[in-house]
Homo-oligomer: A and B are copies of this chain.
Amino acid sequence: MGFALDQRLADSSYLIARIDGIQVRLADDSRYVWLVLVPECEGARELHDLADDLRDQMMALATQLGGWMKPTFTADKINIAAIGNLVPQLHLHVVARRRDDAAWPAPIWGHGEPVELADVKRDRLVTAIATFLETGETG
């Protein structure tokens, strides 16, 4: 028995990188730049199910990504959230929000239907985010 990614997360996002046991994924929704962090920790559903070190590591990664996403994608606000009412496997959203986005100022979860990313846009985002994660700089 090991960690297995929830099928709904697998179907709705692309793996960008694994950082110290945490998957960094791009949500397949062109309305936002929306990352999903998933610690590869079997059975974890809540932040309090994680060891303190892993929680701190995941929050540091989310914060680092948010701090980079805000200027890179000219966002007005970064939303960071562990919700999981529909998909209980623990996952942390990091979303670059803009005043002109589809849901502003409402939360994005449950707002309308996702719009699949075109291949070119997806590849561009994956490359930019992977490059940031590897080098700490924009690609």
Contact = CB atoms under 8 A, between A and B. Distances in A.
The SS class assigned to the A binding surface is mixed
Number of identical protomers: 2
A77 B87 CA distance: 11
A64 interface: yes
A107 B110 contact: yes
Contacts of A97: 85
A63 B48 contact: yes
Interface stretch (A1-9, A34-42, A54-62): A54-62
Interface in A45-76: 45-48, 52, 55-56, 59-60, 62-64, 66-67, 70
A88 interface: yes
B55 A63 contact: yes
Contacts of A109: 106-107
Interface in A96-122: 97, 104-107, 109-110
Given A46-B66, A105-B110, A80 B82 contact: yes
A83 interface: yes
13 contacts: A45-B77, A46-B67, A46-B78, A47-B80, A48-B66, A48-B78, A52-B60, A77-B88, A79-B85, A80-B81, A81-B82, A83-B107, A85-B104
